[in-house]
């Protein structure tokens, strides 16, 4: 989806518009494509060539004809784009844009974990490093995890890593027993059940939309669970007029743009903190996009042996979820 920039961008302060004009001329000069995740700040979503969830973005990265990919998301997403496009330059506006799921699943610890289950097939959520992907048989995203697990032979024992909340939800949906790596997302773990229940009592007509990285007690009382793109699609297809949204609030931008007459309510973190925003996603800014296009840095680099090993489970995912 190419984000419609014109109207909102014209309303921005002059300095912001000038940055966007400079980004535009550089992206044409460099033959660059700007890919953005739904958790990016509104202005980044508006200037991106394509906005999507992890699966959409990896598909786009696989098919782009651009010479340069500016990945406005977190490191593992840009790394996936590089694994798929070794010949292209992949830039990330801020190299520190990590992810707790990926960072807390170190390749050596994962190798030890796998060694305890030598007969297991290893399904890994895309939120992990290239080194962990290289140790996996199949990659999945929150959009296709249940479908992919359902396609695997019934008797096959499976490791699922690194998100245990997503893993438990997949177990429930598929009826399969999965051996789970004990990781979680610091953002989705922080939604307050108390705040959610208060909001549900205040808006009894509201439909609760949740990302499967949320904890089970929250998923149990949600009405619809899915990846970011599935949550947006659900808001579009549902008859409900009001939604309580249990995921990073960046997603509300697309929801409000598509459905300006519906109401979207975000859920605060525990003790009312604003930790429902992903601190890593929010490191990217328009200024940093401009700087990275000017300097052609920071670039994503991956060891070629690791890249080749990491490529096959990603390719398998793309083939299986066609």
Positions in the binding site for ligand 13P (CB under 6 A):
53-54, 127, 141-143, 185, 211, 213, 227-228
Query: Is 160 within 8 Å of 172 (Cβ atoms)?
Result: no
Residue 277 touches ligand SF4, criterion: CB under 6 A: no
CA distance 308 to 253: 36
Task: Choose the binding region for ligand SF4 from 19-27, 185-193, 198-206, 255-263 (rule: CB under 6 A).
Answer: 185-193
Residue 281 touches ligand SF4, criterion: CB under 6 A: yes
DSSP label at 206? P
Of 188 and 230, nearer to ligand SF4 (C-beta) is 188
Q: How far is the CB of 313 from ligand 13P (least distance, A)?
A: 16
User: Cα dihedral sign for 38, 39, 41, 42?
Assistant: positive
CA distance 211 to 231: 8
> Which of 5, 179, 186, 312: binder of ligand SF4 (CB under 6 A)?
186
CA distance 9 to 24: 12
Task: Say which entry of ligand 13P, ligand SF4, none residue 129 contacts (CB below 5 to 8 A, set by partner kind).
Answer: none
4: phi then psi, degrees, rounded to nearest 5? -70, 110
114: phi then psi, degrees, rounded to nearest 5? -60, -35
> Which of 248, 249, 264, 313: binder of ligand SF4 (CB under 6 A)?
248
Task: Say which entry of ligand SF4, ligand 13P, none residue 228 contacts (CB below 5 to 8 A, set by partner kind).
Answer: ligand 13P
Q: How far is the CB of 278 from ligand SF4 (least distance, A)?
A: 3
Q: For the sheet with 158-161, list strands across it.
A: 138-140, 121-125, 158-161, 178-180
Of 162 and 313, nearer to ligand SF4 (C-beta) is 162
All residues at 6 or more sequence positions from 296 whose CB lies less than 8 Å from its CB, including other chains? 30, 68, 89, 91
Residue 140 touches ligand SF4, criterion: CB under 6 A: no
Residue 72 touches ligand SF4, criterion: CB under 6 A: no
Residue 99 touches ligand SF4, criterion: CB under 6 A: yes
> Which of 132, 210, 278, 302: binder of ligand SF4 (CB under 6 A)?
278
All residues at 6 or more sequence positions from 155 whose CB lies less than 8 Å from its CB, including other chains? none
The pair of three-digit structure tokens given for residue 164, joined into one six-digit string = 């245990």
Which residue in 19, 67, 69 sits closest to 44, CA to CA? 19
Residue 187 touches ligand SF4, criterion: CB under 6 A: yes
Which residue in 239, 241, 201, 200 sits closest to 222, CA to CA? 200
**What binding mask, one character per residue, do residues 211-230 give for ligand SF4 by CB under 6 A, x or -?**
--x-----------------
Question: What are 50's strand-pairing partners?
Answer: 35
Residue 235 touches ligand SF4, criterion: CB under 6 A: no
Q: How far is the CB of 231 from ligand SF4 (least distance, A)?
A: 13
Q: Which residues bind ligand SF4 (CB under 6 A)?
A: 74, 99-101, 127, 185-188, 213, 248, 278, 280-281
């Amino acid at each position: 989806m190419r984000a419609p920039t014109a109207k909102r961008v014209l309303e921005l302060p002059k300095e912001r518009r000038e940055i966007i004009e400079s980004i535009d001329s550089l992206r044409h000069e460099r033959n660059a494509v700007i890919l953005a995740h739904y958790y990016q700040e509104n202005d980044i979503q508006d200037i991106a060539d394509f906005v999507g969830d992890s699966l959409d973005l990896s598909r786009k990265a696989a098919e782009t004809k651009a010479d340069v990919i500016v990945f406005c998301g977190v490191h593992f997403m840009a790394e996936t784009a590089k694994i798929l496009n070794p010949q292209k330059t992949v830039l990330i506006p801020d190299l520190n844009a990590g992810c707790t799921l990926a960072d807390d699943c170190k390749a050596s610890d994962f190798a030890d974990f796998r060694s305890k289950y030598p007969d297991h097939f290893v399904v890994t959520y895309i939120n992990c490093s290239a080194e962990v992907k290289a140790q996996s048989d199949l990659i999945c995203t929150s959009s296709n995890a249940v479908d992919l697990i359902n396609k695997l032979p019934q008797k096959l024992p499976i490791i699922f890593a690194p998100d245990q909340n997503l893993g438990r939800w997949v177990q429930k949906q598929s009826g399969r027993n999965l051996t789970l790596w004990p990781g979680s997302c610091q953002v989705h773990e922080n939604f307050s059940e108390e705040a959610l229940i208060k909001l549900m009592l205040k808006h009894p007509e509201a439909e609760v939309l949740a990302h499967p990285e949320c904890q089970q007690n929250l998923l149990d009382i949600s009405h619809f669970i899915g990846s970011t793109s599935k949550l947006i699609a659900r808001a579009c297809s549902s008859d409900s007029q009001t939604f309580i949204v249990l995921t990073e609030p960046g997603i509300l931008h697309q929801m409000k743009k598509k459905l300006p007459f519906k109401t979207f309510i975000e859920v605060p973190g525990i003790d009312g903190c604003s930790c429902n925003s992903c601190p890593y996603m929010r490191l990217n800014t328009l200024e940093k996009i401009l700087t990275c296009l000017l300097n052609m840095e920071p670039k994503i680099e991956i060891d070629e042996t690791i890249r080749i090993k990491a490529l096959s489970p990603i390719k398998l995912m793309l083939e299986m979820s066609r």
